[in-house]
Amino acid sequence: MAEKMDEETVAKVKGILLPWKGKRGNLIMALLRVQEALGYVPWEAMEIASVELNVPMARIYSVVTFYNYFKLKTPGKVVVMVCDGTACHIQGSPALVEAFEKQLGVKSGETTSDGLFYLQVVRCLGCCGLAPVVVVNGKTYRTVAGEDVAKIIAEWRAAMG
């Protein structure tokens, strides 16, 4: 399904799963921790979790495909989150989404062909007073206007060399 995981990563995943063994309500937590470490949840990590946590693969797959937070593919180095919660929506986020999609040449949930940018439209980042909001690798841009989009992309392109 995906590229083979090296031994070091396998050990890392097992290490992450270990403290969750036998705990109630552990599956989502354990998978979130795996994603935190690897950036996404690779197929092989699910297989390891299935064995380590004694949960059928079908249930794991049903869970990771149900929740929006899980990523099943490796995201780009720069994660661009454009908020489309209600407050951002009425302050112009649809135009921002369009501008990012056009300038990056990808749709929401996709990574640019050079692997640099991952675009994600999200629902409410919880700072509605600053709408519309864009968060790039943890850095927040407030009251973003259409013309800021090119600047934000250029800033991160430069930062990534």
Partner 1 sequence: MVELSAEQIAKLKALGATQKETLVKMGDDFKKEREKDAACIYTCNATGCRSGGSVSVIDAFRDALAAAGLSDRVRMVGTGCMGLCASGPLARVEIKGREPFLYKQVTPDLAQIIVAQHIAPALKDAAAPLNLSKKLAGHELSLKLPFFTKQTKIVLKHLGHSDPENLGEYIANGGYRALMKALEMKPADVIDIVKKSGLRGRGGAGFSTGLKWEMLAKSAPVGGEKFVICNGDEGDPGAYMDSCILGGGSHAVLEGMMIAAYATGATSGWFYIRAEYPLALERMELAIRQAKKYGILGRNIFGSDFNFMADLRYGAGAFVCGEETALMASLEGNRGTPRPRPPFPTEKGLFDKPSVINNVETLATVPAIILGGADWYNAIGTATSKGTKVFALTGKVLHSGLVEVPFGTTIGEMVNDIGGGTSTGKKFKAVQTGGPSGGVIPASEFRMPLCYEELKKIGSIMGSGGMIVMDESDSMVEIAKFYLEFTVEESCGKCTPCRIGGYQMLRLLKKIASGKGTRADMDKIRDIAAAMQRGSLCGLGQTAPNPVISTMKFFADEYDALLNKGRKG
Give the binding site for partner 1 (CB under 8 A): 24-29, 31-32, 55, 59, 62-63, 66-70, 84-87, 89-91, 122-131, 133, 135, 140, 142
Closest distance to partner 1 from the beta carbon of 147 (Å): 19
Minimum separation from the CB atom of position 66 to partner 1 (A):
4
Q: What are the DSSP calls for the chain, one per residue? A: --PPPPHHHHHHHHHHHGGGTT-TT-HHHHHHHHHHHHSS--HHHHHHHHHHTT--HHHHHHHHHHSTT--SSPPPSEEEEEE-SHHHHHTTHHHHHHHHHHHHT--TTEE-TTS-EEEEEES--S-GGG-S-EEETTEEE-S--TTHHHHHHHHHHHHT-
For residue 73, the minimal CB distance to partner 1 (Å) is: 16
Name the residue nearer to partner 1 (CB basis): 56 or 161: 56
Residue 8 CB, nearest distance to partner 1 (Å)? 26
**Nearest distance in Å: CB 135, partner 1:** 8
For partner 1, which is the closer residue by CB, 42 or 85? 85
- The residue (of 7 and 54) whose beta carbon lies closer to partner 1 is 54
Cα dist from 136 to 28, 78, 120, 152, whole Å: 25, 7, 10, 9
- Looking at the Cβ atoms of 23 and 151, the one nearer to partner 1 is 23
Using the minimum distance from each CB to partner 1, give the nearer residue, 113 or 123: 123
